[in-house]
Structure 1
Amino acid sequence: MHIMVVGAGSLGLLFAAKLASQCSQLTMVTRTTEQASELAEQGIKLEGEASQTAKSTKSIVYSSYLEETREDIIPNERQVDYIFLMVKQTAITDELVTYLRHQMTDQTFLVCFQNGIGHEQKLSQAIAYDKLLFAVTTEGAKRNGLHSVRHTGRGITYFGVIESNKQLTPNNQHIFFVQMLKSAGFRAELSNNMEVRIWSKLVINVVINPLTAILRVPNGDLLRSEWSRSLMQDLYEEALKLANLKRIALPDKLWDTILTVCEETKTNHSSMLQDIEAARQTEIDYLNGRLVKVAEEWDLVLPTHDMVYRMIKAIEN
């Protein structure tokens, strides 16, 4: 099986390093030529798991998609079975979508690991919906430099479709694909409940991430103040109201899960806080901003989400 991982951030490097020994071929696609060159020279260093490092540095082909995003791009003649799209939503440009389309054949599935919502609409305009799979993962990883990654927390990854009234057919290819992930050391399952899983993770992100970025605090500090907890509660209840309108049955204990996530990751800086600290564009448009837009379609106002959305945009500027 040929796996292509597009995006060499923390999760991209983690999945590539662990899957390399299980694939007949694995291609690691970076954004910059600098990272592709360093990976080709150094391989992926999987910190804390030295027994897998030697295996995962030898069987990976490294390239940069920016080298190939030209109008005269030639379709890939190599059969790619699954493409793991592991970039942030802000990186899903028209050029990247063109690159992805040219890597795919009729047998290729694009697996989308993005946070938030909205990317499914953009991708489906260029790629057939029946070739899109969506993933939700609780695996934790931290990238240390261009070629080094540490597995910081073991979780589970779910795969499925989100098209209304359609279920994922567990064909032999998908079953083998999940078994390959398990052999690589991941917990993985096919799911016919992906919309709920995606929205559950979305709600966790829209409650925690913008507040940590605005207050400039690690996740756990949100629980230390009654004022920040009240803001969390408002964000949660507004998101729940929208989900109920859309008839998405979120788990009853999702609020408890949010509190648990804050406590278990109490020293972590959220990805949005890291983006703010590094003066990068955040994913706020696809998180709270997207909820505000969807709510408008239902004639619903989300005042707390609108407030934190505008504050993050002001900080970005």
Structure 2
Amino acid sequence: MQIAIMGAGAVGSYYGALLARAGHTVALIGRAAHVEAVQSKGLILETASGCETLEVTASQEVCALKDAELVLFCVKSTDTETAGASMASALSETAVVMSLQNGVDNADRLAEMLGREVIPVVVYAAVSMAGSGHVRHHGGGELALGSSDVGASLVALFQEAGMSATVADNVTDMLWTKLVINCAWNAVSAITQQPYGALMAIDGVRALVVAVMGECQIVAQACGVILPDDMERSTLAIAEVMSAQRSSTAQDLARARQSEIEHLNGFIVRQARCHGIETPINHTLLVLVRALEQGRHRCDLPSD
């Protein structure tokens, strides 16, 4: 199958690598440095089993999408509309589009831009970029797909590539569950630039994470979302199963890139406001990450 990865960062490159290893033709659309590295030496996939190099094509141009039968849309939530508009004319009429993004509403936003169905996907993978052209897998990799007419064939495709994939009737609730976990950990990891395991060893962090999660649960209930009964356990478990991992927000700030904080804690704050709910801890984390992002830009200014 001809498969394109739109926004080939860590998540997109990881799944692209697995699909290429399974024999599919994979095209990555990404940033210049990543594209140039892949073009010159292939895509390096590093897992617990070691490193391997996969043959894929790479481009900075959306025209690389034109022959794609399946598109994995992996851009940052902040870029959903811009990237969607740029790729609209390049898509085949029959291409299947899937959103593998953080946040709750990306598939709907992208579908509105494209005028076609976009399948929401919940991603449970800890991956990072070890360098341009080099993706590192830390754990996980499961995919939960929203319902669609092609759901069964997509699950088969991913399973044949060695991935765990299912179709979920409650994908919206699952997206919210992941959102709550991200809200509880991402900003704290970003502000401190610490991995989850080290954070849990700090006095008071556990209580902070639980408090953030509690605010999110109240907002989710107001939005009609059903979260798991073991939400606290699964949120705190991140510190064990991904102990050495820093959040994607932490990685963005470290690379002087705009984070997705507006679509994580920011989303909770906006939804809370619509329902007359106060979320002071989520709001504080949102403001602190905003301040770090703006401070980064000030540091880039030349001195007098």
1:71 equivalent in structure 2: none
1:103 equivalent in structure 2: 90
Residue identity matched to 1:141? V
2:123 equivalent in structure 1: 137
Task: Give the one of 74, 78, 83 matched to 1:86.
Answer: 74
Cα 1:236–1:254 shift into 2, 3 Å? same
1:47 match: secondary structure: strand
Residue identity matched to 1:270? S
Unaligned runs of at least 5 residues, structure 1: 69-74, 161-167
Q: C-alpha separation between the residues in 2 aligned to 1:140 and 1:311?
A: 24
Q: C-alpha separation between the residues in 1 aligned to 2:238 and 2:47?
A: 24
1:37 equivalent in structure 2: 36
Asked if the contact 1:76–1:102 (Cα under 8 Å) also holds between the matched residues in 2, the reply is: no
CA-atom RMSD, angstroms? 2.4
Residue identity matched to 2:88? R
Identity %: 24
Task: Give the one of 263, 283, 306 matched to 2:283.
Answer: 306
Deviations 1:132-191 (A, max 9, x none): 01111212223222112232213311111xxxxxxx24x4x4322221211111111111
Residue identity matched to 2:45? L
Unaligned runs of at least 5 residues, structure 2: 295-304
Cα offset, 1:21, TM superposition: 4.2
Cα offset, 1:5, TM superposition: 0.8
1:146 equivalent in structure 2: 132
Cα offset, 1:26, TM superposition: 2.1
Cα 1:216–1:28 shift into 2, 3 Å? closer
Deviations 1:52-74 (A, max 9, x none): 946x31xx3321127x5xxxxxx
* Residue 18 of structure 1 pairs with residue 5 of structure 2: no
Between Structure 1 and Structure 2, which shows a larger proportion of strand residues?
A: 2
Asked if the contact 1:3–1:23 (Cα under 8 Å) also holds between the matched residues in 2, the reply is: no
2:229 match: secondary structure: coil
1:157 equivalent in structure 2: 143
* Residue 28 of structure 1 pairs with residue 15 of structure 2: no
Asked if the contact 2:29–2:35 (Cα under 8 Å) also holds between the matched residues in 1, the reply is: yes
Asked if the contact 1:207–1:236 (Cα under 8 Å) also holds between the matched residues in 2, the reply is: yes
Q: C-alpha separation between the residues in 2 aligned to 1:212 and 1:238?
A: 18
1:314 match: secondary structure: helix
TM-score (norm 1): 0.84
Residue identity matched to 2:18? K
1:126 match: secondary structure: helix
Cα offset, 1:280, TM superposition: 2.2
2:212 match: secondary structure: helix
Q: C-alpha separation between the residues in 2 aligned to 1:52 and 1:312?
A: 34
Give 1:266-277 correspondences, 5 Å limit. Answer: 266-277=243-254
Cα offset, 1:20, TM superposition: 1.6
Q: C-alpha separation between the residues in 1 aligned to 2:110 and 2:141?
A: 27
TM-score (norm 2): 0.88
Deviations 1:11-39 (A, max 9, x none): 2221111112445532221232x432331
